Structure 1
Amino acid sequence: MTASDSWQFAVAGYAVLLAWPITTVVLVWFALRYHGTHRAKVVNRSVAGGNGRPEHFWIIVPALNEEAVVANTVGAALNLRGPAGTLSRVLVVDDGSDDRTPEVLAAIDHPRLHIMRRDLPEARQGKGEALNAAYRHISMLTAQAGMAPEKVVVGIIDGDGQGSENILVEVSRLMRDERVGAAQVQVRIRNRNRLLGAVQDLEFGAIVDACQNMRDALDTVGLGGNGQFSRLSTLQTLGAAPWSSCLVEDMELGLRMHLNGVGIRYTSRASVTQQAVVDVRRLTRQRTRWAQGNMQCARYLGRLFESPRVARIALAEMLHYLLSPWANAIVTVLLIGTGIAGLGGLLVGHPIVFIPTWAALAESLGVWLGVTTFPGLLWALVHRRKHGDEGMPRMLTAALAYPAFLVLGLAATYRALGRQASGRQAWAKTERLAEEPLALPA
């Protein structure tokens, strides 16, 4: 490699390294500039007089060995109320639980609670299949009652999820626009008193929220596994199995909706809380599954390119989301390789041209440290401004831990690459933490 080539390589490396904080600044501007109100203004104008408001809500709670949390989840779901005249019901899908989940559910006596028990061999074929079974049951009941499927909304709240009191009202507001076929609410973390919980709330409550608000403006909102709401009529256009066996069935569902021209909105005015994974080993396993599912969704790239329904700028944003695990893996190898080459060259007395001295190596490490620390600190300030429900010391501690959290994510990406290459698909369920019981609704 010539000196000219080395310098070009160094410039390219710094450009890649600096892309992250630059992108962060853009997202932070978006988060602070719009603060969850930009789409609200547009929607309020577009739905004036709209007649798409839902009349019926079904909340599906997929449950597999959820004895530690399912009573609180069901109680919180039964407490949710939509606008006046809106009926809401809860359907728990017990997907072959072999713990005390059936007994816990049997002890809850409420007229709006429905329980579907799936036994083997149908059970435990993945969350997507459990949701599909519940969706088909709801479709059948809707047809028997003579309801219009476009007036029925199906929401998903995970076994550890709890929706904010206004969640159905907010979804109803968004869906007054007949063009809106699905909506996603903000996700927050409840057990953020622990460091890993605080870091995950920094991720969901600030970073993911900003990304989703930007996607909302670009009409590329992605659906999450928790807090997604879809019109029954929208799901029915996708056939008998809207959710797939993909490891991130929610993301794939959102992509299929976009390809069908369905409008998906996001709101940070309502939220659903969930438990953080506070064990490093289990967190790595969870993120590996997410990364592998992201890779599985890459098969939609060709259809996204060909679709006339997906705008070019929206396509660029989707491509970034789908390809980021691959790009992160490659960039990490390049950066680590560069650092090792620079250190090795100095140790053997043959320094590479763009790290000629120990001072240059120290300077490069300082740049790397600043670049990796800066985004987390910025997001801590955004989190404080948007929510104000956590003290700055805790959020700053979470911000300083954020780079290590990202390293864990990169390790998960490499594990996902290995699993995908070897064809491994089976996953162990994420364990829940026991919580103080909530009062059930009357």
Structure 2
Amino acid sequence: MSAGAPVALPGNWAVFVLIPCLNEERVVANTVRCLLDLQPGVRAVVIDDASDDRTAALAEAAGAGRVEVVRRALPEARRGKGAALNAGLRLVRHRVRDEGLDPARVLVCVLDADGRLTPGAIARVAALFETPEVGGAQLAVRIRDRGHVALRFQDFEFWGLSAISQFGRVATGSVSMGGNGQFTRLSALDSVGEQPWSYSLTEDLDLGISLAVRGWTVTSTTGAYVSQQGLTSPRRLLRQRTRWHQGHMTAITRLPQLWTGPGIRRRARIELTGYLLIPYLITLPWSVVQQYLFLRLAQGGGPRLFALPPGPLWLQAVGGLGCYVLAFAGHLTVAAVYWRRTGDQPLWKTLAYSHALVLWMYVSFIAGWRAAGRMLTQRKGWAKTERTQEAPLAGAADPQVPAESLGEAVGAEGIAPGSRPGVTPS
């Protein structure tokens, strides 16, 4: 696949791309232009959620007559991403009825206002839905402009940590739905209800559970991905992660449905249950255990498991190496996967980042406890995270585009479609 050869949609498929926007004039024009230039046959629907800026006008200009804008007004607007997506879906359903399209052959994609899909990504995803039980698919996520340390860590999370778990979940058909690069069969959305996206802080995770409860499979592919901006502000990053944790932790209320829903597959039920329990059984407890271990090490003690064996120096060296591998085996595995998939930095630097994940984990620790505090005080309100201003792109042939959103899926990344078994934190 090259930047100049996007893949056309397979026959008999219709794809509507919903782009929810609230004051997105900094990025929306580039997103619409890249979408229409690189994904032949798609139909773009921008949902302007009562923006105060030029979001709607810039989207229409970038679409050059190929984009529909749904304008929402207060007081109905600004009630969350789920409500905006449901408004866009109403337009999609209207178009489907008017044109006599088969809802089982219609895909609804959710793309953030800063999202860019690799060329022909939608055509590759459409092929997944040829299997009738597939109701949803989620693309892997990359962070653009990875020169900043914080952005590299975020890319490491998405392209390394999350990718390993998400592609592994293909086997259970319970890949977690994300808010960017999310695809759903229209008939699957119809089975969830008139308004399939909830008011949850993580409406994407909530939708994935709803699909599973109704017996639909959610999958992914290694043949495409979606890129987005990252965050360099510690305050904004922590606020974003706190929202993710709070949405994940409140989703525990869906457990009864997972275990009583007649349509859900057993392996998906078990996997999703474990996934929903991660904050309670791993993140929060380990945030305490890790501090205890560090304190013991600082005092010259530590767990006996990591104590060096008595004897000659060579034996202690072997023992030390064994302790190191035991402690960092997971980090080294993720580093190897990330380095293999990325190809944009030397191995030694990737290994350095993998060890520094011990410190980066504190973002999740702090966010998890903040989320728990917000749940106890019943706080649910959020301020929208601002985007970074992007330079205008001339189109798919612009030299800035291939470096971050076109060729990485199969070129610099070293990934060919289907080369590995088939993705974002919730």
| TM-score normalised by length of structure 1 | 0.78
Q: Which one of 54, 61, 64 corresponds to residue 19 of structure 2?
A: 61
SS of the aligned residue for 1:269 comes to: coil
1:150 paired residue number: 104
Distance 2:298 2:342 in 1: 43
Aligned to 1:304: 258
Specify the SS of the correspondent of 2:220: strand
Q: Which stretch shows the higher mean deviation, 182-191 or 248-257? A: 182-191
CA distance in 2, matches of 1:76, 1:396: 33
Partner of 1:110: 64
2:369 equivalent to 1:414: yes
Consecutive unaligned residues in structure 1, runs of 5 or more: 1-51
- Equivalent residue, structure 1, for 2:423: none
Moved more, 100-109 or 288-297: 100-109
Write the mapping of 1:355-394 to structure 2, written as runs, cut at 5 A: 373-394=328-349
Superposition pairs of residues 293-332 of structure 1, within 5 angstroms: 293-327=247-281, 328-332=283-287
Q: Kindly state the Cα deviation for residue 331 of structure 1 after the two structures are TM-superposed.
A: 3.1
Offset at residue 352 of structure 1 (A): 11
Aligned position for 1:431: 386
Residue in structure 2 matching 1:270, options 224, 236, 239: 224
Q: Does 1:79 align with 2:33?
A: no
Distance 1:153 1:109, change over 3 A: closer
Cα drift, residue 111 of structure 1: 2.7
**Distance of 1:331 and 1:430 partners within structure 2:** 28
Residue 431 of structure 1 and its aligned partner are, at CA, apart by: 1.5
Aligned in 2, Cα 1:312/1:433: closer, same or farther, shift over 3 Å? same
1:322-361 counterparts in 2 under 5 A?
322-327=276-281, 328-337=283-292
SS at match of 2:187: helix
Task: Tell me the amino acid that sits aligned with residue 235 of structure 2.
Answer: R
- Bigger proportion of residues as helix: 1
Structure 1 residue 273 displacement after superposition: 0.4
d(CA) in 1 for partners of 2:285 and 2:322? Answer: 20
**Is the Cα–Cα contact under 8 Å of residues 53 and 172 in structure 1 kept in the other structure?**
no
Shift, 1:318, TM fit: 1.4
Distance 1:264 1:90, change over 3 A: same
Deviations 1:10-66 (A, max 9, x none): xxxxxxxxxxxxxxxxxxxxxxxxxxxxxxxxxxxxxxxxxx965211111111111
Aligned-pair distance for 1:301? 0.9
Q: CA deviation at 1:341?
A: 7.6
Q: Once the two structures are superposed, what CA deviation does each residue of 1:157-216 show, in whole Å capped at 9, x if it has no partner?
A: 101100011211111211122222221111111121111111111111122111111110
Q: Does the 8 Å contact 1:91/1:115 carry over to 2? A: yes
2:418 aligned partner? none
Structure 2 vs 1, CA of residues 312 and 149 (structure 1 numbering), >3 Å: closer, same or farther?
Answer: closer
CA shift in 2, pair 1:213/1:354, >3 Å: closer
**Contact 1:195–1:398 (CA under 8 A) maintained in structure 2:** no
CA positional deviation for 1:313: 3.6
- Given the two structures, how large is their TM-score scaled by the length of structure 2? 0.81
Report if aligned partners of 1:329, 1:414 keep a CA contact under 8 Å in 2. Answer: yes
Alignment match of 1:137 (pick from 83, 87, 91): 91
Secondary structure of residue in 1 paired with 2:20: strand
| Counterpart secondary structure, 2:35 | helix
Instruction: For residues 401-436 of structure 1, give each alpha carbon's deviation from its aligned partner in whole angstroms, at most 9, with x where no partner exists.
Output: 322211111110000000011111111111211222
Paired amino acid for 1:193 = G
After superposition, the CA RMSD in angstroms is 3.0
Is structure 2 residue 161 aligned with structure 1 residue 200?
no
Task: For 1:62, give the aligned amino acid.
Answer: P
> What residue is the counterpart of 1:174 in the other structure?
128
> Is the 1:227–1:272 contact (alpha carbons within 8 Å) kept by the matching residues of 2?
yes
- Map of 1:91-102 to 2, 5 A cutoff? 91-102=45-56
How far apart are 1:374 and its partner, in Å?
4.5
Match of 1:26 in 2: none
Alpha-carbon separation, structure 2, partners of 1:311 and 1:241: 24
Q: Secondary structure at the match of 1:237?
A: helix
Asked if 1 retains the 8 angstrom alpha-carbon contact of 2:49 and 2:72, the reply is: yes
Report the alpha carbon displacement of residue 102 of structure 1 after superposing the two structures with TM. Answer: 3.1
CA distance in 1, matches of 2:326, 2:82: 39
Q: Secondary structure at the match of 2:221?
A: strand
Specify the alignment match of 1:231 in structure 2.
Answer: 185
Q: Deviations over 1:226-270 (max 9, x none)?
A: 101111111111221100010110000000000000122211211
Inter-partner Cα distance in structure 2 for 1:397 and 1:269 = 28
Which ranges in structure 2 are unaligned for 5 or more consecutive residues? 1-9, 311-319, 398-426
SS of equivalent to 1:108:
helix
Q: Distance in 2 between matches of 1:182 and 1:68?
A: 30
Alignment equivalent of 2:357, drawn from 367, 390, 402: 402
Q: Matches of residues 10-49 of structure 1 in structure 2 within 5 Å?
A: none
What is the DSSP-based 3-state SS (H/G/I as helix, E as strand, rest coil) of the residue aligned with 1:258? helix
Identity %: 37
Q: Counterparts of 2:292 and 2:335 in 1: how far apart (Å)?
A: 31
Q: Quote how far apart the aligned CAs of 1:337 are.
A: 4.6
Q: Deviations over 1:128-171 (max 9, x none)?
A: 00000000111011111221111111101101100011211111
